[in-house]
Structure formats: structure tokens, C-alpha cells
A and B are shown apart, each in its own frame.
Chain A
Amino acid sequence: MVGLGILVFLGIIALLAPYISPYNPNQIDPSAILQPPSAKHPFGTNELGEDILSLVLWGSRISLLVGFLATFIAIFVGTGVGVTAGYAGDWIDESLMRVTDFFLVIPAVVLAIVVAAVLGPSLLNVILIIGLLSWPPTARVVRSQTLVVKTLPFVEASKASGAGTWFVIRRHILPNVLPLVYANTALTISNAIFTQSALVFLGVGDVSDISWGQILHFAYSSGAISAGYYWYAIPPGFMIVIAVLGFALTGFALDEVFNPKLKEGLVVGSS
């Protein structure tokens, strides 16, 4: 519930950013550089004199956008791979699982850094990279569930009555697999937001678009941190934290609702 509340709050901010920001985030004011929070600038200003509150509000758009789009790719690929592997079985399953394990083993952030260095730091590249590196967990979950559903009696009956592969997948497998995917989606979004901010912070993502990671990047590189200008670093980081928390909490809650393995009824254990 808390998770959902956070998400709604963030969604409102992102959509309304242009209207509720007190200033244009790109509007520089050289007379007001690195000011601590005041009545005029509730979150203070950065080294260019831009208002940090506006920056943070606008930053939500890119941060959330990348999170959603990257996750969309990840879920799409992951579900596809998972269902195919689980349903087809045999060598298709084996080879797909090898590929999945391979991507799980390589540390995603490191690979993302390298690929971004190769392909160039554009917004599209960042979305693609994060998406293409986030699908393995979804694939695994989907595959396990597909394996279970595949053996259920009604699927067998359906196939015996002559249902084609596509029909079975569409009408039987997918509806029973998707609930688990929802929980996974929330967690994937959570991860994607984190990865995007990390990549931009390192300077590997696009630093010209305003996002929370980008604000932190300039906070660090402009030396504001060493000078102790806390107002520059705290708001964007805090936003990342609550965004990640929001999605993670929602994901855990969905997991509790949909996961068939968690049972009720504890007898032992002190409370």
C-alpha cells in the first residue's frame, strides 16, 4: 500500500513537472550560485544557479521513463524466452537457459558501462542496454511457472482435443504465468531506475537530459560534495530511494499475493 502511494505521488510529479516547477530547470542565475535552501529556492541552487527543486521535479520524468521503457523491453524479452524455453523443452530449453545464465553471470553494470562506451551515451542506448540486461530474472521465473502449468491436466486435455501450440500458449500458459510477471515487473523497474542513475552518475549515460542520476553526477563533479553542500546531493538521491522503494514494495506485495509458494499458517516462531 505504501508502495502504491509512493508510485502515485511520483507519477503525479512526473506528469505535472512542467506546471509545478517554480522555475525553468535550465534557467541559470549566475548571481545565485550554490545557494543553500532559502525561501526563494526551497532546495537551493547548483553551480550554474539553476533551482534544484525544479531540477529534481523534472528529473523524475527521464528517470521514470527510462525505468518503464527498459523494463518493458526486459519483460517482453524475458517472458518470450521463458515461455519458449519452458514450453518447448529439450535442447531449445537448454540453449536458452545457457544464454540466460550467461547474462546472469556477467555483472550487468560493468557490461552496461562497456556497451555504453562502445555505442555512445544516448538515451535510447541506455534504455536498450538496461532492458537487454534485465530480462534474465523474468525469463527464469516465467520458465519455472511454464513448466508447472504445462503439466496441468487441463492443458493436456486441451492439447488432446487438438489445440494448436499458439492456442495453448495464448489461452492457457500465458494467463497463468502473467501474475508472477507482474511482481517481477515492479522489481525490474526498481532495478532499472537504479541502474540508469548509476550509469548517468558515472557519466556513461546521457548527461544532457535532466535525471536524478545526472543531478548527482554534477553534484559530484562540480566539487559540491567535498564542499559540503548537502542540498545539492540529498534531494535527487532521496528521490531515487523512494522511487526504488515504491516499486520494490509494490513488487513484494504483488509477490505475496500471487506467489503460490508462500503459504499461510505459521505455528512455530515467537511473535
Chain B
Amino acid sequence: MGRYIAKRGLSSLVTFFATVVLTFVLFRLLPGNPITLLFRNPLLTKSEIDTLSAQFGLNQPLYVQFFDYLRNVFLGNWGISFYYRAPVTQVLFPAMINSVVLLLPSTVLAILLGVSLGIISGWKRGSASDVSILSASLILYALPTFWLGILLIMLTIKTGIPVSGMMSVGVTFPNAFSYVANVLEHMILPMTTLTLVILGQFAIIMRSSILGELTQDYVVAAYSKGMGTRRLLLKHIVPNAMLPTVTIIAISIGTVVAGAVLTETVFSWPGVGTLIYDSISRRDYPVLQGAFLVVALIVILSNFVADVVYSYLDPRVKYS
């Protein structure tokens, strides 16, 4: 068991290291001199630029820069934002919290709903409920995230539900409760969008898993021995069908992040997604680099956690 975790952990570390290398290379390819981008002062003389370059270590050979970068990443020094003139970590951290506030409930809800719908759909294969759930899931899967967001905005624009931002601007909140209520109000639309988009995929996957389990011999055996269908379903089929679903859900973390980027942008929710989007137009490369790294890190981490969880669920993996 420990060996398996160690092996997966090592693999995740390698992937993370590769990501860091990729980030480094990618962002060195960006057009523009970082010094001119940071200071944006057309009056900088060449000697000033050279001095600043030396100060930031930009005149060093690339491999020296790379080790500096590596060291800085681990020390928490992720650079200075070109736009905010503040440390990147200071810009990223609040955005990350905002994103998690939106992402976590949406994902959990999507998993709960998607899995339940998938079970119903798979169990009652061919029936009216199956067909309707399947069609709905397919349509949800095909819906572009941002389009659904746009549609929801148009539908609700007259009803007073907030359509952008995380809280009302310029309002003071008399107590914590009204503050939370305000945020929740702003969360309705983005969370609905994100949940709907994700759950379609989960429902389809769970349904396929269930169908795959239904063809197994043990199901036939248990049924013919007289086991009640409800017990058969809940205690045997579903746990077995959960295995590939857990894997797919873990892999889907990447898709969830992508969906979050699109949803955040449409609703101007101040999370990492909007930050990435804004940084591109502002040419704020350090923030972009930091955001990219942190997103990749989160995805790698969740995949690792999913692998460990999967090994707990499936004893066959431990002993392979």
C-alpha cells in the first residue's frame, strides 16, 4: 500500500517538475522585454534597463535563471505582477479563495446529482426516465459553458439576481450574515451554470459504469439466488460502478477548471479564471505564470489524491 502511494507520489512530483520546466520555457518565449513591461516607462534609458536587468538576474545564462526560478518557486517568491506592482502571491491568493468558493460547492453538487442521475438512468435502461436523463445529460454535455452563462444572464437580467461580480459594489454590510447572503446571491448564477455543465458528463459516465456492471456474472448470480434488486443495486452494483467513475471524475478536474475559467469570465467572478483572462490582455506575465503553475499544481494534486482514494476502493490495485 505504502509502495503504491510512494510510486504515485513520485510520479506526481515528476509531473509537477515537468510543469515547472514547461512554465519556465513557455513564459520566456513571450514577446517583450520583462523590464520594459514591468516599468512601462518610455523614458527608461538603455543603461537603466541594463542595470535593472542585472538586478533581476536577466542577463544570466538561461540555466542559471532556471535554477533561480526553481529556488524562488519553492521559497514562495513568484515574482512581481506587472500590472498590480505587488507580489504575485498577493494577487493570486485572494483570487484562489474566490475560485474555491465557487468551484467546491458546484463540483460537489454536480457529483451528487450526476452520480444519482446516472444510477437511475443506468438501472432503468431503455425506460422513459433513462431516455430523458440521457438526453438531458447529452445536451448539458454539449452546451458550451459560456453560452449557458450568457443564456442565464439574459433570462434573469430582469429579475434582479446579480449577474456579475462576487458582491455588490459600494455597499456596507451591517453584519457577517448579510455579507454572506450577498455573496451567495451573486453565486446563484455562476454556480448553476458550472454545476449544470459538469453534471451532464458525470451522469453519462456513471450510467455507462452501471451498464458495464449489469453485464457481470455476479449480478446474474445474485439475482437468481433471490437477492432483492434494491440491495443488489445499492450494496453491490453501485460500489463497483463507482470505481471507474472515481477515475474519470479525477481526470475531469481539469475540465472543471476549464469550465470555471469560462464561467468566471462570463460572470466577472473575481477568481483565478478571470485573473488569467485579464492578465492576458494586460500582458501581466508573472501573474499568468503563477496562475498557470498553481492551476496545474492543483490538478496534479487532485489526481494524486484520486489515485490514493482509488487504491483504497479497489483492493486489486494495491497488490498489482
Residues of A within 8 A of B (CB): 98, 101-102, 104-111, 113-115, 117-118, 190, 194, 197-198, 201-204, 216, 219-220, 225-226, 228, 230, 233-234, 237, 240-242, 244-245, 248-249, 261-263, 265-271
Q: Are B220 and A268 in contact (CB under 8 A)?
A: yes
18 CB < 8 A contacts A-B? A98-B15, A101-B11, A102-B15, A105-B303, A106-B254, A111-B292, A114-B288, A117-B288, A118-B29, A198-B258, A201-B146, A216-B150, A226-B157, A233-B150, A237-B144, A237-B150, A249-B138, A268-B232
Q: Are B150 and A198 in contact (CB under 8 A)?
A: no
Q: Are B146 and A104 in contact (CB under 8 A)?
A: no
Q: Tell me, rounded to whole Å, the shortest Cβ–Cβ distance linking B123 to chain A.
A: 6
Q: Among the interface residues B18, B147, B261, B277, which one has the most CB atoms of the partner chain A within 10 A?
A: B147
Q: Which residues of chain A are near B191, meaning CB under 8 Å? A: none
- Complex interface residues of chain B between 127 and 183 (CB less than 8 A to chain A): 127, 138-139, 141-147, 150-151, 153-154, 157-158, 163
Q: Which residues of chain B are near A244, meaning CB under 8 Å? A: 141-142, 144
Whether A220 touches B150, Cβ cut-off 8 Å, given contacts A105-B299, A270-B123, is yes
Q: Which residues of chain A are near B299, meaning CB under 8 Å? A: 105-107
Which of B75-83, B88-96, B211-219, B310-318 lies at the interface with chain A?
B211-219
Q: Are B295 and A107 in contact (CB under 8 A)?
A: yes
Q: Among the interface residues A104, A107, A234, which one has the most CB atoms of the partner chain B within 10 A?
A: A107
The verdict on B281 contacting chain A, using a C-beta distance below 8 Å, is yes
Q: Which residues of chain A are near B145, meaning CB under 8 Å? A: 198
Q: Are B254 and A104 in contact (CB under 8 A)?
A: yes
Whether A270 touches B261, Cβ cut-off 8 Å, given contacts A118-B29, A216-B146, is no
Whether A114 touches B26, Cβ cut-off 8 Å, given contacts A105-B299, A198-B145, is yes
As a 0/1 sequence over residues 286 to 316 of chain B, the CB contacts with chain A under 8 angstroms (1 = contact) are 0010001001100110010000000000000
Question: Which of A111, A117, A267, A271 meets B126, CB within 8 Å?
Answer: A271
A203 to B142, CA, bound (A): 21
A56 to B284, CA, bound (A): 34
Residues of B within 8 A of A (CB): 11, 14-15, 18-19, 26-27, 29-31, 123-127, 138-139, 141-147, 150-151, 153-154, 157-158, 163, 211-212, 214-215, 219-220, 223, 229, 232, 251, 254-255, 257-258, 261-262, 265-266, 276-277, 280-281, 288, 292, 295-296, 299-300, 303
Q: Which residues of chain B are near A228, meaning CB under 8 Å? A: 154, 157-158
Q: Tell me, rounded to whole Å, the shortest Cβ–Cβ distance linking B71 to chain A.
A: 23
A240 to B251, CA, bound (A): 24
Q: Which residues of chain B are near A106, meaning CB under 8 Å? A: 19, 254, 296, 299
A113 to B279, CA, bound (A): 11
Q: Which residues of chain A are near B31, meaning CB under 8 Å? A: 118
Q: Are B257 and A110 in contact (CB under 8 A)?
A: yes
Question: Which of B127, B139, B219 meets A270, CB within 8 Å?
Answer: B127
Q: Are B144 and A240 in contact (CB under 8 A)?
A: yes
Q: Tell me, rounded to whole Å, the shortest Cβ–Cβ distance linking B218 to chain A.
A: 10
Q: Are B223 and A268 in contact (CB under 8 A)?
A: yes
Instruction: Add 13 more A-B contacts to A107-B299, A226-B157, A237-B144 (CB < 8 A).
Output: A102-B19, A105-B300, A106-B19, A110-B292, A113-B276, A118-B26, A118-B27, A201-B146, A219-B150, A237-B150, A240-B147, A266-B211, A270-B127
Q: Which residues of chain A are near B262, meaning CB under 8 Å? A: 109, 198, 201-202
Q: Tell me, rounded to whole Å, the shortest Cβ–Cβ distance linking B74 to chain A.
A: 20
Q: Which residues of chain A are near B124, meaning CB under 8 Å? A: 269-271
Q: Which residues of chain A are near B142, meaning CB under 8 Å? A: 190, 194, 240-242, 244-245, 248
Q: Which residues of chain A are near B292, meaning CB under 8 Å? A: 110-111, 114
Q: Are A101 and B26 in contact (CB under 8 A)?
A: no
Q: Tell me, rounded to whole Å, the shortest Cβ–Cβ distance linking A180 to chain B.
A: 15
Chain B residue with Cβ nearest A263: B215
Q: Tell me, rounded to whole Å, the shortest Cβ–Cβ distance linking A232 to chain B.
A: 10
Q: Tell me, rounded to whole Å, the shortest Cβ–Cβ distance linking A220 to chain B.
A: 7
Question: Which of B26, B141, B151 meets A233, CB within 8 Å?
Answer: B151
Question: Which of B14, B141, B144, B281 meets A197, CB within 8 Å?
Answer: B144
Q: Are B258 and A107 in contact (CB under 8 A)?
A: yes
Q: Which residues of chain A are near B257, meaning CB under 8 Å? A: 107, 109-110
A216 to B153, CA, bound (A): 14
Q: Tell me, rounded to whole Å, the shortest Cβ–Cβ distance linking A242 to chain B.
A: 8
Chain A residue with Cβ nearest B146: A201
Q: Are B150 and A225 in contact (CB under 8 A)?
A: yes
Question: Which of A101, A204, A216, A248 meets B280, CB within 8 Å?
Answer: A204
Q: Which residues of chain A are near B150, meaning CB under 8 Å? A: 216, 219-220, 225, 233, 237
Question: Which of A104, A118, A267 meets B30, CB within 8 Å?
Answer: A118
Q: Tell me, rounded to whole Å, the shortest Cβ–Cβ distance linking A128 to chain B.
A: 15
Q: Are A233 and B138 in contact (CB under 8 A)?
A: no
A267 to B125, CA, bound (A): 12
Q: Tell me, rounded to whole Å, the shortest Cβ–Cβ distance linking B197 to chain A.
A: 11
Q: Which residues of chain A are near B158, meaning CB under 8 Å? A: 228
Q: Which residues of chain B are near A203, meaning CB under 8 Å? A: 280-281
Q: Are A241 and B151 in contact (CB under 8 A)?
A: no
A225 to B219, CA, bound (A): 52
Q: Among the interface residues B145, B254, B281, which one has the most CB atoms of the partner chain A within 10 A?
A: B254
